[in-house]
Copies of this chain bind each other. A is one copy, B any other.
Amino acid sequence: MRLSRYFMPVLKEDPKEAQIVSHRLMLRAGMIKQQTAGIYSWLPLGHRVLRRIEQIVHEEQARAGHIAMLMPTLQPADLWRESGRYDDYGEEMLRIKDRHKRDLLYGPTNEEMVTDIFRSHVNSYKDLPLTLYHVQWKFRDEIRPRFGVMRGREFLMKDGYNFDLTKEDALHAYNRHLVSYLRTYERMGLQAIPMRADGGPIGGDYTHEFLVLAETGESEVFYDSEITDLKFGGRHIDYDNVAECQAVLEEFTSRYARTDETHDEALFNQVPQERRRQARGIEVGQIFYFGTKYSEPMGATVVGPDGNRVPVHMGSHGIGVSRLLGAIIEASHDDKGIIWPEGVTPFHVGIVNLKQGDASTDGACEALYAELKAQGLDPLYDDRDERAGAKFATMDLIGLPWRITVGPRGLAANKVELTSRRTGESVELSPQEAVVRLQEIYRPVAEAAK
């Protein structure tokens, strides 16, 4: 993309309404615009990151054997009356009447609807196990929406639902989700720690939240510091293998890690004092096993091997897709702006032309731009007629992890500068070498998608 043809309205001033750094930086970098309280437009730069995050979620769901579909944003109220949650849900549910005065609602979650789909079409245990998921916009009418996309009213969520014959099978689905979520978050450059949590309005005894440590987190968390040494890494997992998934769950959940909702001071005190940590965290996902809570009242049953009908065991599993942009920025920024992890960056590299209009630098930038694209990379070329300082400040603000600086002095020696946004370190390379280096840098990102 050429910046002269892009729409990236960066702000020079800090917006007053932003109380936390991710909200401030998203507004300043021209990623979002608030349309009304808690409802945002995703401007082009923000939309790019949203799509990258969504793509990683889809890839990892497919890898785990989960099936993509899409449920609508609006739901008939009757489904929620069946489960008994229509009245329970309170004012956070946005209730709507259509022109025929029928009750609709903007879905805050989809347990009822997916259970309805299941009961309409699945009849036999032979069609199990089954996990359906979608990535769709949700609405929760928060009384005080704030912190930008971190606590918006209209938000994008991945929510998946497993249907299994037995509790044992459903717990394997639970473990499978835990494994796939660890891999998902790591691809986004995040460490998200599974913590014992509370069921809330979804219900269920087995539930873990995934928390990213950040000073601005809304949850207070307590954990054994050993847990932050754990990495999922590049390990290969067979998602059908019950023992393998169980082992990962045990590895990542056997140490103390709880939110304030389930915190147990006595248990926590059994952790050696030097490893006890109290911090704040941002919730970026949650997994639940809730058995037959929805399948029983809604009649989602299958004929089992013995010929008898039994309600299916279910769980639901969510990733806060739009919220993740805020969480990633909270976890990865400095005083100049955002620092995108390579896995989710809106552009792979920025090209800064130090002397726009100069035939030699223009030519070198165009050649670099074309070659990077030919190699499957996505460059943002700042081809505006601006001072170098302004171009650097913009690149730092929007947080592309790599920058190539092209100036007449370097070019005289066939050199450009490749700079890391994270460390600030620069190396001088020929343009050809810079392209090769970037290909090497992004190879693991492409490999992780396979």
Of the candidates B76, B104, B134, B139, the one whose C-beta lies within 8 Å of that of A74 is: B139
Interface size on A, residues (CB 8 A): 56
Q: Which of A63-71, A206-214, A349-357 participates in binding chain B?
A: A63-71
**Do B91 and A69 have beta carbons less than 8 Å apart?**
no
Distance between Cα atoms of A68 and B92 in the complex (Å)? 31
Minimum Cβ distance to chain B for residue A12 (Å)? 12
Chain B residues whose C-beta falls within 8 Å of the C-beta of A69 in the assembled complex: 7, 41-44, 46-47
The answer, yes or no, to whether A318 is at the interface (CB within 8 Å) is no
Q: Tell me which residues from 114 to 139 in chain A have a Cβ below 8 Å from any Cβ of chain B.
A: 116-117, 120-122, 127, 130, 132, 134, 137, 139
Query: Which residues of the other chain, B, contact A132 by a CB distance below 8 angstroms?
Result: 7, 44
- A72 in contact with B9 (CB, 8 Å): no
CB atoms of A9 and B74 under 8 A apart: no
In the complex, are the beta carbons of A41 and B143 less than 8 A apart?
A: no
A73-B73, A76-B35, A104-B36 as given contacts; A68 in contact with B44, CB under 8 Å: yes
Chain A residues numbered 303-361 whose CB sits less than 8 Å from any CB in chain B: none
A402 to B94, CA, bound (A): 45
Q: Secondary structure at chain A's binding surface: helix, strand, loop or mixed?
A: mixed
Q: Which of A35, A37, A117, A141 is the most central at the interface, judged by chain B CB atoms within 10 Å of its CB?
A: A35
Q: Which of B40, B98, B130, B153 contacts A141 (CB 8 A)?
A: B98
Known: A36-B76, A104-B36. A42 touches B67 (CB 8 A): no
A113 interface contact, C-beta 8 A: yes
B102 touches A72 (CB 8 A): no
Cβ–Cβ contact B30 & A47, under 8 A = no
Distance between Cα atoms of A42 and B71 in the complex (Å)? 6
A75 contact from B6, B35, B94, Cβ within 8 A: B35
Could you tell me if A113 and B41 are in contact, using CB atoms closer than 8 angstroms? yes
Interface centre among A99, A102, A106, A141 (most CB of B within 10 A): A99
- Assess the A94–B96 pair: CB atoms within 8 A: yes
Whether A39 and B130, one on each chain, are in contact in the complex, defined by CB atoms closer than 8 angstroms, is: no
Q: How many Å lie between the Cα of A39 and that of B76 in the bound state?
A: 9
The answer to whether B99 and A70 have CB atoms under 8 Å apart is no
> How far is it, in angstroms, between the C-alpha of A41 and the C-alpha of B118 when the chains are bound?
12
A48 to B67 Cα, complex, angstroms: 10
Quick check: A113 and B50 within 8 Å, CB to CB?
no
Compute how far the CA of A154 lies from the CA of B76 in the bound complex, rounded to whole angstroms.
Answer: 13
Q: Which of A36, A46, A96, A154 neighbours the largest number of chain B CB atoms within 10 Å of its CB?
A: A36
Of residues A68, A104, A116, which shows the largest number of chain B Cβ atoms within 10 Å of its Cβ? A104
User: When the two chains form the complex, which single residue of B30, B44, B68, B102 contacts A36, counting CB atoms closer than 8 Å?
Assistant: B102
Is B117 within 8 A of A67, CB to CB? no
Q: When the two chains form the complex, which single residue of B50, B98, B121 contacts A70, counting CB atoms closer than 8 Å?
A: B50
Give residues 22-36 of A contacting B (CB, 8 Å).
30, 33, 35-36
Interface residue A5 (Cβ < 8 Å from any Cβ of B):
yes
Known A-B contacts A35-B72, A35-B113, A44-B67; the reply to A30 vs B121 at CB < 8 A is yes
Residue of B nearest to A123 (CB): B9
Residues of B within 8 A of A130 (CB): 7
A70 contacts across to B, CB distance below 8 A: 41-42, 47, 50
Given A68-B44, A69-B7, A71-B41, do A141 and B35 touch, yes or no (CB 8 Å)?
Answer: no
Whole-angstrom CA separation of A438 from B42 in the bound complex: 39
Query: Nearest 4 pairs between A and B by C-beta?
Result: A9-B121, A36-B76, A42-B70, A91-B99
Given A7-B67, A41-B69, 11 new contacts (CB under 8 A): A6-B67, A7-B121, A7-B130, A9-B121, A37-B102, A46-B69, A47-B134, A72-B137, A73-B73, A98-B141, A137-B137
